[in-house]
A and B are shown apart, each in its own frame.
Chain A
Amino acid sequence: MQNKTDEAIAAMVQSGDLESFSFLVERYENKIKRYARKFMTNAEDIKDITQDIFIKTYTNIKSFDVDKKFSSWIYRIAHNELINALKKKERNPLLFFDADTLFPHPISREETDKKTIRDEIKKSINKCLDEIPLKYREPLVLFYIEGLNYGEIADVMRVPVSTVGVRLKRGRRMLKAICDNLNINYER
């Protein structure tokens, strides 16, 4: 089972091998918890939402197209669950027509940061992320921590690829400003 791809395991679950689902839980539990931790602080809430995400993944697994990437799909489910949970908590509905998604942006090229720079930003994100608004926080987490590319982030958040680029750029700028305020070293 170790050699099988996520998509192959998902196909097995779809065809009735229900126990194989445990391998997907095993592979994604830490990732989903880490992702949820960037939006929530309460350990119980994180545990509950992680469980909800896996239950939703299982109940909807027959809608998953095995020719596509499983990671993008499960992060999409996690995104929806987290956004819904935050909406309930903060009573702050997200607008459909966000100005960032409305118009084209010139900054759409995917940035290929060197590994050392990425590691530095990753460290900064862990220290300063809480202060950053959700719409900039999420692409930072997905790109620098979860390792998704622009296209995959666009699929998870259902926003244009160029918007991902713009939000990452603004997010990094905010991150730098916050880290500077907190006297935390930020290399970029």
Chain B
Amino acid sequence: MNDKHSLKEEILNKIKHDEIKMKPKIHYVLRIIAFIFFMILFFVGIVYFLSFIFFVVFKMNSGSALVGFGFRGVETIFFSLPWALILVVLVFVIIFEIMLARFKFAYRRPVIYSLLGIIILFFVLSFCVHRTSFHTNLFMLNKEGGLPAIGPLYETYEHVDFRNVYCGIVTDVNENGFEIQWIDNPDIEFEVSVPPDFIKHKDLNTGDVVILIGERNDTVISLVDLTKIDSEDFCIHRGNIRLK
């Protein structure tokens, strides 16, 4: 009983002598504001970087043209993804999830629900942003005068190097293969060796614009697969990168 009284008395004494003080309400208000501010910051950061990844792969580098190769094309896109940016997004998502877990609606349910929920939300929002001209405008702004802070990001990822992928215009077709010329640099030509009967099946003609996957050995490319495209977007600057 004595012990009980002593604890109560001890605490009351500390309160009376101002040894312990209540933190003012403003302390919690500011903490909540700071917390919400950082949550918004991470939220915007995730949407920005994820939509930028979409922009880099599909708009700036026309990666969707590779989907025509099926599994091999998807595999090529996968290995050429900007993994450093993806890592940043993953870290941000984990931090965001930890912040979200402070709220009752999040921690009372299994983590997988909130995690899946925010991943779907971020993908949808980022895809929507990617469909707008937001990143294109920033890219153009950077081209014109240089954007502070984020400008180098647009320069670094302007050309994604899709491994073993080449693009050009067909200049000659023969029994053993064909020749292609870089669209933005007509001085560069490659000979492409193909498997038997390949030309017949693909109905390839001079003037066709093609994307091809193959192993390059000096000026000869051993073809693995090929797809014809209507737009030359994918090919712009791509030949020059391959020759570096």
Contacts and interface: CB of A to CB of B under 8 A. Distances in A.
Interface of A: 13-14, 18-19, 21-22, 25-26, 29-30, 47, 50-51, 54-55, 58-63, 96-97, 101-105, 151, 154-155, 158-163
B10 interface: yes
Interface stretch (B104-112, B130-138, B156-164, B218-226): B104-112
B7 A29 contact: yes
Contact of A54 (B7, B27, B101, B102): B7
Given A21-B11, A51-B10, A58-B22, A102 B112 contact: yes
Contact of A51 (B4, B7, B22, B108): B7
A62 B23 contact: yes
Interface string B195-239: 000000000000000000000000000000000000000000000
B11 A22 contact: yes
Chain B facing A: main interface SS: helix
B20 interface: yes
B244 interface: no
Given A51-B7, A59-B22, A21 B107 contact: no
A105 B113 CA distance: 12
Interface in B25-73: 25, 27-28
Contacts, number: 84
Contacts of A58: 11, 15, 20, 22
Given A58-B20, A59-B20, A158-B101, A101 B11 contact: no
Contacts of B111: 97, 101-102, 160
A10 B229 CA distance: 72
16 contacts: A19-B12, A25-B11, A26-B4, A47-B7, A55-B14, A55-B20, A58-B22, A59-B21, A59-B23, A62-B22, A101-B111, A104-B110, A151-B108, A158-B101, A161-B108, A162-B110
A19 B15 CA distance: 8
A160 B11 contact: no
Contacts of A163: 110
Contacts of B102: 158
B32 to A, nearest CB: 9
Contacts of B25: 62
Contact of B23 (A13, A60, A151, A160): A60
A161 B15 CA distance: 37
A13 to B, nearest CB: 8
A13 B109 CA distance: 33
Contacts of B145: none
Given A26-B8, A51-B7, A103-B112, A21 B15 contact: yes
B24 interface: yes
Interface in B158-192: none
B121 interface: no
A60 B135 CA distance: 45
Contacts of A13: 22
Given A51-B10, A58-B11, A96-B101, 8 more contacts: A62-B22, A62-B23, A62-B27, A62-B28, A102-B110, A104-B110, A104-B113, A155-B108
